[in-house]
Amino acid sequence: MSDSAGPEETRDVPVHGVGPWPGPWPDGEHWDPELLAHGDTRNVVDGYRYWKMDAIIADLDTRRHPFHVAIENWQHDMNIGSVVRSANAFLADTVHIVGRKKWNRRGAMVTDRYQHVVHHPDVASFREWASGEGVPIIAVDNVGEAVPVDRADIPERCAFLFGQEGPGLTDEALAAADAHIEITQYGSTRSINASAAGAVVMYEWCRRWAR
C-alpha cells in the first residue's frame, strides 16, 4: 500500500517531489505502481523515489547504524517526533520510547513509518533490554560530571538516552546510564531541547563511525 497521499499534494500538480514516471515503467518488485502512475511527493531522498514503503524499510535495514536512541516520555513532549525524524536521517538502529506509550508524532513528519520504534514502560525495563543486548546507555544531559560530547568516549554500539524539555532526564534514568555526556553551550540558556541535542549527538556519532 502506498503512503503517497497527503494534504500537501494533489493528483495533478504535486507541491513537491516528482510527477508520474515518464516513459515505460521500470522493472522490479520494489517499484510502487501507484507512485509510478501518479507521482511521488513523499519526503524521501531521490534514490527512493517511486519505491514501495516496505522496500525502502528493507533496504534501510541492510545498512542501519548500530546506535540506538531513547527518550523518556512522561510529559506531553512535542520534541519526541523531531528526535525520531533525526534518528531516521542519521540511520539509527531503533528509537526507544521510555515511559508513556503515546507520543506526539507530528514532528516526525511521517519518518516513523521508516524507523523502528519500540516502547518500554519504564526505565527499569529499558535498562533490562540494554543489559540483555550488551548495549551501554549514554545519558545526554548537562548535569554532574557529564563529559562534553566532543571529548567523550562514544562506543560504536550504544544507546543515547535523552530527557524531556525543561527537566531533562529523571534521576532514575541518570542512575541507569553507563556514562553521561553533555553538549557544550555558550549562551545564557541552561539547555537545548531534545530534538536539537539528538541531532548534535547523532551527527557526532556519524562523524566518528559512519562509513
140-175 pLDDT, tens digit per residue, is 999 888 999 999 999 999 999 999 877 789 999 999
pLDDT score of 137 more than 80: yes
The x, y and z cell numbers of residue 95, run together, are 528509537
Q: What is the pLDDT of residue 4?
A: 43
pLDDT score of 9 more than 80: no
Q: For residue 92, count other CB atoms closer than 10 A to its CB.
A: 26
pTM for the whole structure? 0.89
Domain limits of the chain?
Answer: 1-63, 67-209
Q: Give dist(CA 180, CA 144) in Å, integer.
A: 9
Q: What is the pLDDT of residue 15?
A: 61
Percent of the chain with pLDDT over 90: 81
pLDDT band at 11 (very low <50, low <70, confident <90, very high): very low
The C-alpha cell 502512475 sits at: 37
Query: Do the beta carbons of residue 146 and residue 180 sit within 8 Å?
Result: yes
> Is residue 24 packed enough to be buried (19+ CB in 10 Å), middle (13-18) or exposed (0-12)?
exposed
Residue of 99, 64, 81 whose CA lies nearest to 173: 99
The x, y and z cell numbers of residue 6, run together, are 497527503
Which of 8-12, 85-89, 103-107 is the least confident region?
Answer: 8-12
Q: Give dist(CA 99, CA 103) in Å, integer.
A: 10
Q: What is the pLDDT of residue 187?
A: 95
| pLDDT, averaged across the chain | 91
Task: Give strand pairing partners of 5.
Answer: none
Q: What is the pLDDT of residue 10?
A: 38
Q: Phi and psi (nearest 5°) for 19?
A: -85, -165
CATH number for the domain running over 67-209: 3.40.1280.10
13-36 pLDDT, tens digit per residue, is 446 799 999 999 999 999 999 999
Percent of the chain with pLDDT over 70: 92
At 58, which amino acid appears? A
Read off the DSSP letter of residue 148.
Answer: E
Which of 3-17, 49-63, 122-136, 171-185 is the least confident region?
Answer: 3-17
Sign of CA dihedral 136, 101, 143, 184: positive
Q: Which residues of 173-187 are buried (b: 16+ CB within 10 A; e: fewer)?
A: bbebbbbbbbbeeee
